[in-house]
Amino acid sequence: MAGFEDWLVHARAHGLDTRMMSRADVAAQITGSEKPWVGGLFTPSDARAEPWTAVPLLATGAQARGAVIVENCAVRALDLAAGRVAGVVTELGRIACDQVVLAGGAWSALFARAHGVIFPQLSVKATVLATEPLPEVFRGNAADDDFAFRRRNDGGYSLAPGASHDFYIGPDAFRNFGAYLPVLKKDFRSTIFHPAAPAHYPDAWFTARRWAADAPGPFEAIRVLNPAPNPKIVADVQARFAECFPALGRPKLKAAWAGMIDTMPDVVPVVDRATAVPGLVIATGMSGHGFGIGPGMGRVVADLVAGNATGHDLGRFRLPRFTDGSKIAPGPSL
Ligand SMILES: Cc1cc2nc3c(=O)[nH]c(=O)nc-3n(C[C@H](O)[C@H](O)[C@H](O)COP(=O)(O)OP(=O)(O)OC[C@H]3O[C@@H](n4cnc5c(N)ncnc54)[C@H](O)[C@@H]3O)c2cc1C
């Protein structure tokens, strides 16, 4: 609860309607639970959205405003002229431009390193499941240390573990070990370590770190980073849900999936110009919150590229914070 009180300070500073909840408040909102929550933090204006619906709609909206979206086309490298961006080399040919936004999710650090821009991005595998329809216990989204859930349009719930995730050890894990020590200490027990990532993953042992722009590279070896869900985590979350809501019982599985969540040592994104490569803007490391903050990030990055005032102090998101001796303090995360 003390941690929530700390977070409330940030919420208030940004005009959110977040408030603390007592034990009775929680019991009134989330019905049918046997769990003795002592209280909580609630944001009534919070929203939820179905990615499969929202993302295509955002893409259609961007196209209607003039964006051109090219799918199944890997960018192999930046095209540089006198050290600055002159375009990108894609598998379908060159695109001339004087600015490029690198927003490649878990692939960003691999791409940037090949151009001498180095930052300590790593990824963890997160497993999620959807249940068959069940009675409603809460209309919104809720999370505690054991599991998180949100009501779905199809009448089921999306469920995720509170903290458990898989981590594949690779060269970047060793390189960035020191930077991640604080989060590692915190997350050690909830992390399932594996000695190697599947072949061709961004930090797999044998993934090329250098490649030629005129031949297929790592971004063509895997088109969509779509790891298999961890069945142990799926079963564990089903059990925790059943313990929390005994009247609903063990939820029937409708689907399970996983993805690689890209993160930074302070769990704060990087949104900045890469000064070593003029014309390159980096927007990555969304640290598990990129769906929610995506539209806002997109707006800020568009202004950054266009040279407009972004309306925000982007100091917290600066790229050199990992190399200029700044103290790396974890950001306010729920
Ligand atoms: C299981 C799971 C649950 C999550 N739940 C939530 C949630 O509840 N709320 C929330 O806010 N966030 C959530 N996230 C996090 C969110 O999905 C990410 O933060 C967000 O998708 C990151 O967006 P992005 O645009 O930075 O990267 P991405 O969505 O990864 O997009 C990057 C794209 O760039 C492409 N790409 C990379 N390199 C190249 C290249 N060289 N050439 C061409 N294309 C390239 C990739 O193929 C990819 O399509 C979740 C993530 C996972 C995995």
Would you say the C-alpha torsion 37, 43, 45, 49 has a positive or negative sign?
negative
User: At residue 155, what is the residue type?
Assistant: G
Would you say the C-alpha torsion 163, 48, 152, 141 has a positive or negative sign?
positive
Residue 194 Cβ < 6 Å to ligand 1: no
- CATH topology for 50-121+264-334 is FAD/NAD(P)-binding domain (3.50.50)
Residues facing residue 122 across a β-bridge: 263
The pLDDT, as a whole number, for residue 333 is: 66
78-87 pLDDT per residue, tens: 999 999 999 9
Q: From 125, 291, 317, give the residue whose CB has the most ligand 1 atoms within 8 Å, as the site to mutate.
A: 291
Are 50-121+264-334 and 123-172+206-260 equal in CATH topology?
no
Q: Whose CA is nearest to atom 19 of ligand 1?
A: 290
Kindly state the DSSP code that residue 252 receives in the 8-state scheme: P
72-127 pLDDT per residue, tens: 999 999 999 999 999 999 999 999 999 999 999 999 999 999 999 999 999 999 99
The two structure tokens encoding residue 43? 């944001």
Average pLDDT rounded to a whole number, residues 168-180: 96
Average pLDDT rounded to a whole number, residues 174-192: 91
The answer to whether the beta carbons of residues 239 and 231 sit under 8 Å apart is no
Q: In this model, does residue 334 exceed pLDDT 70?
A: no
The two structure tokens encoding residue 271? 């949104």
Average model confidence (pLDDT) for the chain?
95
Residue 282 Cβ < 6 Å to ligand 1: no
69 Cα: distance to centroid of ligand 1 (angstroms): 16
Question: Where do we find the tokens 């930077």?
Answer: 179
Residue 289 Cβ < 6 Å to ligand 1: yes
Q: In this model, does residue 301 exceed pLDDT 90?
A: yes
Q: Percent of the chain, pLDDT > 70?
A: 99
Average pLDDT rounded to a whole number, residues 190-205: 97
Q: Classify domain 123-172+206-260 at the CATH class level.
A: alpha beta
Which of 89, 111, 85, 71 has the alpha carbon at shortest distance from 214?
Answer: 89
Residue 259 Cβ < 6 Å to ligand 1: yes
Q: In this model, does residue 255 exceed pLDDT 80?
A: yes
Q: Which atom of ligand 1 is nearest to the CA of 219?
A: 41
Question: Where do we find the tokens 């940037």?
Answer: 112
Residue 126 Cβ < 6 Å to ligand 1: yes
17-54 pLDDT per residue, tens: 999 999 999 999 999 998 999 999 999 999 889 998 99
* Cα dihedral value 221, 225, 230, 231, nearest 10: -90
Would you say the C-alpha torsion 311, 315, 317, 318 has a positive or negative sign?
positive
Q: From 79, 107, 280, give the residue whose CB has the most ligand 1 atoms within 8 Å, as the site to mutate.
A: 107
Residue 278 Cβ < 6 Å to ligand 1: no
Rounded to two decimals, what is the model's pTM? 0.95
Q: Provide the residue ranges of all domains of the chain, joining segments of one domain with +.
A: 1-46, 50-121+264-334, 123-172+206-260
Average pLDDT rounded to a whole number, residues 183-196: 92
The two structure tokens encoding residue 244? 């929390």
Q: In this model, does residue 320 exceed pLDDT 70?
A: yes
Question: Where do we find the tokens 């059943």?
Answer: 242
Residue 261 Cβ < 6 Å to ligand 1: yes
